[in-house]
Chain A
Amino acid sequence: MNFFPSRFLKAAAVAFGLLASASAMAQTAICYNCPPEWADWASQLRAIKDKTGITVPPDNKNSGQTLAQLVAEKASPVADMAYYGVTFGIQAKKEGVTAAYKPAGWAEIPDGMKDPEGHWFTIHSGTLGFMVNVDALKGKPVPRSWADLLKPEYKGLVGYLDPASAFVGYVGAVAVNNARGGSLDNFGPAVEWFKALKKNEPIVPKQTSYARVLSGEIAILLDYDFNAYRAKYKDKANVEFVIPAEGTVVVPYVMSAVAKGPNAASGQKALDFILSNEGQAIWANAFLRPVRTSAISKEAQARFLPASEYARARTVDYGRMAEVQKAFSDRYLREAQ
Chain B
Amino acid sequence: MVLAACAAPAAVVFAAFWLLPMVQLVMLPASRGAATYFVVLTEPRYLQSLVQTTLLSAAVTMVSLVVAAAVGLYLGRRSFAGRRLLLAVLTLPLSFPGVIVGFFVILIGGRQGPFASFTDAVIGERITFAYGVTGLFLAYVYFSLPRAIASFTAVVERMEHELEEAARSLGARRWHIVRDVWWPALQPTALAIGAILFATAMGAFGTAFTLASRYEVLPITIYNEFTNYANFALAASLSITLGLMTWAVLFVARRFGGSAIGAGA
Enumerate chain A interface residues (CB-CB to B < 8 A): 62, 64-65, 67-68, 70-72, 91, 95, 136, 156, 162, 164-165, 201, 203-206, 215-219, 325-326, 329-330, 333-334, 337
B112 touches A67 (CB 8 A): no
Enumerate chain B interface residues (CB-CB to A < 8 A): 44-45, 106, 110-112, 126-128, 131-132, 209, 212, 214, 216, 223-224, 226-230, 232
Quick one: given A156-B126, A219-B111, are A326 and B230 in contact (CB under 8 Å)? no
Chain B residues with Cβ below 8 Å from A71 are: 230, 232
A201 touches B132 (CB 8 A): yes
Nearest-neighbor residue (CB-CB) of B111 within chain A:
A217
Nearest-neighbor residue (CB-CB) of A63 within chain B:
B227
A91 to B128 CA separation, bound complex (whole angstroms): 38
B214 touches A201 (CB 8 A): yes
A165 touches B227 (CB 8 A): yes
Chain A residues with Cβ below 8 Å from B131 are: 201, 203
A106 to B16 CA separation, bound complex (whole angstroms): 46
Quick one: given A217-B112, A333-B45, are A156 and B128 in contact (CB under 8 Å)? yes
A331 to B229 CA separation, bound complex (whole angstroms): 14
Quick one: given A156-B126, A206-B209, A217-B111, are A68 and B226 in contact (CB under 8 Å)? yes
Chain B residues with Cβ below 8 Å from A68 are: 226-227, 229-230, 232
A68 to B224 CA separation, bound complex (whole angstroms): 10
Chain B residues with Cβ below 8 Å from A203 are: 131, 212
A91 to B232 CA separation, bound complex (whole angstroms): 15
Quick one: given A156-B126, A203-B131, A219-B111, are A65 and B214 in contact (CB under 8 Å)? no
Chain B residues with Cβ below 8 Å from A95 are: 230
Name B228's contact: one of A165, A205, A218 (CB within 8 Å).
Answer: A165
Q: What is the CB-to-nearest-CB distance from A319 to chain B, in angstroms, rounded to a whole number?
A: 15
Q: What is the CB-to-nearest-CB distance from A244 to chain B, in angstroms, rounded to a whole number?
A: 23
Quick one: given A68-B230, A326-B229, are A164 and B224 in contact (CB under 8 Å)? yes
Chain B residues with Cβ below 8 Å from A162 are: 212, 224
Chain B residues with Cβ below 8 Å from A67 are: 227, 229-230
Chain A residues with Cβ below 8 Å from B111 are: 136, 156, 216-219
Chain A residues with Cβ below 8 Å from B216 are: 337
A4 to B232 CA separation, bound complex (whole angstroms): 43
A333 touches B228 (CB 8 A): yes
Chain A residues with Cβ below 8 Å from B214 are: 201, 204
B232 touches A205 (CB 8 A): no
B224 touches A333 (CB 8 A): yes
Q: What is the CB-to-nearest-CB distance from A158 to chain B, in angstroms, rounded to a whole number?
A: 11
Q: What is the CB-to-nearest-CB distance from A56 to chain B, in angstroms, rounded to a whole number?
A: 22
Chain B residues with Cβ below 8 Å from A334 are: 44-45
A181 to B212 CA separation, bound complex (whole angstroms): 29
Chain A residues with Cβ below 8 Å from B132 are: 201
A–B Cβ pairs within 8 angstroms, 18 of them: A62-B227, A64-B228, A68-B226, A68-B229, A71-B230, A91-B229, A201-B132, A203-B131, A215-B112, A216-B111, A216-B112, A217-B110, A218-B111, A325-B229, A329-B229, A330-B228, A333-B228, A334-B44
Given contacts A68-B226, A217-B106, A326-B228, 19 further A-B contacts (CB under 8 A): A64-B228, A67-B229, A67-B230, A68-B229, A72-B232, A156-B126, A156-B127, A156-B128, A162-B212, A162-B224, A164-B224, A164-B227, A165-B228, A206-B212, A216-B111, A217-B112, A333-B45, A334-B45, A337-B45
A162 to B212 CA separation, bound complex (whole angstroms): 9
Chain B residues with Cβ below 8 Å from A205 are: 212
Nearest-neighbor residue (CB-CB) of A70 within chain B:
B230
Quick one: given A91-B229, A333-B224, A334-B45, are A204 and B112 in contact (CB under 8 Å)? no
A329 to B227 CA separation, bound complex (whole angstroms): 10
Q: What is the CB-to-nearest-CB distance from A228 to chain B, in angstroms, rounded to a whole number?
A: 19
Q: What is the CB-to-nearest-CB distance from B238 to chain A, in angstroms, rounded to a whole number?
A: 12
Q: What is the CB-to-nearest-CB distance from A264 to chain B, in angstroms, rounded to a whole number?
A: 22
A62 to B209 CA separation, bound complex (whole angstroms): 13
Chain A residues with Cβ below 8 Å from B223 are: 165
A206 to B208 CA separation, bound complex (whole angstroms): 11
Chain B residues with Cβ below 8 Å from A64 are: 227-229
Chain B residues with Cβ below 8 Å from A62 are: 227
A20 to B112 CA separation, bound complex (whole angstroms): 42
Q: What is the CB-to-nearest-CB distance from A288 to chain B, in angstroms, rounded to a whole number?
A: 24
A217 to B66 CA separation, bound complex (whole angstroms): 34
Nearest-neighbor residue (CB-CB) of A71 within chain B:
B230
Quick one: given A156-B126, A217-B106, are A72 and B230 in contact (CB under 8 Å)? yes
A334 to B42 CA separation, bound complex (whole angstroms): 13
Nearest-neighbor residue (CB-CB) of A219 within chain B:
B111
Chain A residues with Cβ below 8 Å from B227 are: 62, 64-65, 67-68, 164-165
Nearest-neighbor residue (CB-CB) of B126 within chain A:
A156
Nearest-neighbor residue (CB-CB) of A136 within chain B:
B111
Nearest-neighbor residue (CB-CB) of B113 within chain A:
A217
A333 to B234 CA separation, bound complex (whole angstroms): 14
A206 to B223 CA separation, bound complex (whole angstroms): 11
Q: What is the CB-to-nearest-CB distance from B60 to chain A, in angstroms, rounded to a whole number?
A: 22
Chain A residues with Cβ below 8 Å from B110 are: 217
Chain B residues with Cβ below 8 Å from A164 are: 224, 227-228
Shortest 4 CB-CB contacts between residues of A and residues of B: A64-B227, A165-B227, A71-B230, A68-B230
A62 to B212 CA separation, bound complex (whole angstroms): 14
Nearest-neighbor residue (CB-CB) of A91 within chain B:
B229
Nearest-neighbor residue (CB-CB) of A64 within chain B:
B227
Chain A residues with Cβ below 8 Å from B128 are: 156, 201
Chain A residues with Cβ below 8 Å from B228 are: 64, 164-165, 326, 329-330, 333
